[in-house]
Chains A and B, each alone.
Chain A
Amino acid sequence: MTVYGLIDCNSFYCSCQRAFEPRLKRLPVVVLSNNDGCAIARTAEAKGLGIKMGDAWHLIRNERKLSGVQWYSSNYPLYADMSRRVYQVLLEHVPRVEPYSIDEMFLDLTGLPGDLADRCEMIRARVEQITKIPTCVGWGPTKAIAKLANYIAKDRPEMEGLCDLTDELVRMRFYRNLPVSEVWGIGRRLVPRLQGAGIRTIAQFVEADPAQIRKIMAITGVRLQAELRGESCLKLSEIAEQRKGLACTRSFGQPITSYSDMREAIAGFAARAAEKLRAEKMDAGHVSVFIQTNPHRRQDGWYANQAAITCAPTNNALTLIGTSTRLLRAIWRDGFRYAKGGVLLNDLAPAGQQSSLFDQPEEQSPALMDAMDAINRRFGREAIKPLSTGVERAWRPRQGMLSPRFTTGFGEVMEARAW
């Protein structure tokens, strides 16, 4: 019988910050989204103070009861490296691991010797010892059941971080008592429609007529029913499929009002997107650029537009900056306060394959990009960069509470006092 596990890191971003700052151990910690906008990760202590996901920092920061909260800007280089460490530890104990998100991984536990609960407990202990990140593990015969088991392990302290849903009778007991909204893939919009059909609990969902479910949520719903009955439909995939599109977009730290600042920002996004393309050895054959004002401040005037063009496949930063800048010029309007912009690349294909006979050979030499990537790998991101991407970058996102990159920047590693 197949057995899938799902291991989920508790308040992952906060736990990464705590790993390197023991003084945070019992303090409420909150990590904010890009631009220090809103809460995206909270420790149990922060949840206990009433901080919700998505709470805007500038609205709650001065509340007296939150004066002890430790706020952090999101430090993605740190989180990516810690996710890599968690993944590697897992691979030492199970043969196949699927990194489903930065903080959740599916495990293939099929046919492993010994007691599964013991093994999962040992895996949790090892992950915590090596990465300092606490986790919960749930397991069962399908991925959807493993996901639900994980939710139960996390939600109920008495489970002590583990939940085994391999037994059908155990499963049915939980199904009868859990709302259908706890099922993986059943989002807020589907819940009222399911309730309208008399489906409130997971048990009711599993027992519902597949024809009815198909009407409400198409074939995915029918598959989900099968998964919850214990018939595996979703397989483990060890890495993400080749992507179809790639984007680099940002909210600006302060609104952009001048064309030259926006040109800098867009050139920066194009350069970053091109760098990601080259890292994946892909070319893009379609470029689009968008800019928009803040939709929540329409009294300041509202404008949003985008432009796109098909081009000869390339991953050259200079070519893509040129194309993006031309697109920006077509959509730019003076007199607005722009809050967000981005560059999206599509029609991705393996690098170096010319798509048609009539494509011009690249004017820009790939050697320059190779050299730029090599220098930046060695001396750090943007050690050299196209000047069009700006120097001062007044528009750059606010990251006022950024911790050091403890594991990826040699000048920023954790410090220990010789005692």
Chain B
Amino acid sequence: MSAYAGDRTTGFASPAADAIEGPIDLSDVLDLRRPSRYPVRVRGATFSARGILDGDVLIADTSGQQASGQLVIACAAGQVLLAELQARRGHWWLVSGDDSREPIRVDPAQDVDIWATVTGVVREKP
């Protein structure tokens, strides 16, 4: 598309013609073209204290190292969950944002897996 970008003026030559950078591309900023990046929609608000609200879209990454305190997308009993990862007593645990729930131990043999770590959040209508 031959769109005007601040360069090809018809009267006075644009002094910025050699300095065109184009609009910001959020898929570049969020690195969405990497094979490990997946958007995931959040349902529920138990992590509102960490700034994650119902309906937010998380940018999840499946390539990364896990660290204690990180938010992760996890699978447990066939369900996809957003949880906080914590290292305790030599194991990884999924911790709920809601204090009333007991942590679940990460154990692929019991079908409790970490699917991805959360690297960003997109909120469309704040």
Contacts and interface: CB of A to CB of B under 8 A. Distances in A.
Interface of A: 22-23, 25, 84-86, 88-89, 126, 129-132, 370, 374, 406-407, 410, 413-419
A34 to B, nearest CB: 26
A414 B116 CA distance: 12
Nearest to B113: A22
A415 B40 contact: yes
Contact of A416 (B42, B45, B98, B101): B42
B80 A416 contact: yes
A374 B1 CA distance: 8
A16 B39 CA distance: 15
Contact of A413 (B57, B75, B115): B57
A129 B108 CA distance: 13
* Chain B contact patch, size range: 35 or more
B62 interface: yes
Contact of B101 (A85, A410, A419): A419
Contacts of A23: 78-79
A414 B47 CA distance: 18
Contact of B63 (A130, A374, A418, A419): A130
A418 B78 contact: no
Given A417-B82, A418-B47, 10 more contacts: A84-B35, A85-B36, A407-B39, A414-B41, A415-B40, A418-B46, A418-B82, A418-B97, A419-B83, A419-B94
Interface in B27-55: 34-36, 38-47, 52, 54
Nearest to B73: A416
B111 interface: yes
A-B residue pairs, 4 tightest by C-beta: A23-B78, A418-B44, A22-B75, A85-B35
A131 B96 CA distance: 26
A370 B1 contact: yes
Contacts of B52: 418
Contacts, number: 88
Nearest to A92: B35
**Most-contacted residue by chain B among A22, A374, A410 (CB, 10 A):** A22
B54 to A, nearest CB: 7
Contacts of A25: 78, 111
26 contacts: A22-B75, A22-B80, A22-B115, A131-B35, A370-B1, A413-B38, A413-B40, A413-B41, A414-B40, A414-B80, A415-B41, A416-B41, A416-B73, A416-B80, A417-B44, A417-B81, A417-B82, A418-B42, A418-B43, A418-B47, A418-B52, A418-B54, A419-B46, A419-B82, A419-B83, A419-B96
A23 B80 CA distance: 9
A89 B1 contact: no
B106 interface: no
Contact of B62 (A22, A129, A406, A419): A129
Contact of B35 (A88, A414, A416, A419): A88
Contacts of A130: 35-36, 62-63
Given A22-B111, A130-B62, A130-B63, A415 B80 contact: yes
A418 to B, nearest CB: 4
B14 to A, nearest CB: 23
Contacts of A22: 75, 78-80, 111, 113, 115
B53 to A, nearest CB: 9
A11 to B, nearest CB: 19
A407 B38 contact: yes
Contacts of A132: 62, 115
A132 B45 CA distance: 27
B49 to A, nearest CB: 11
Contacts of B96: 419
**Most-contacted residue by chain B among A88, A130, A416 (CB, 10 A):** A416
Contacts of B44: 417-419
B109 to A, nearest CB: 12
B82 to A, nearest CB: 4
A86 B82 CA distance: 25
A374 B94 CA distance: 44
A89 B36 CA distance: 8
Interface in B69-126: 73, 75, 78-83, 94, 96-98, 101, 111, 113, 115
Nearest to A22: B75
Contacts of B54: 418
A235 to B, nearest CB: 26
Nearest to B52: A418
**Most-contacted residue by chain A among B36, B46, B54 (CB, 10 A):** B36
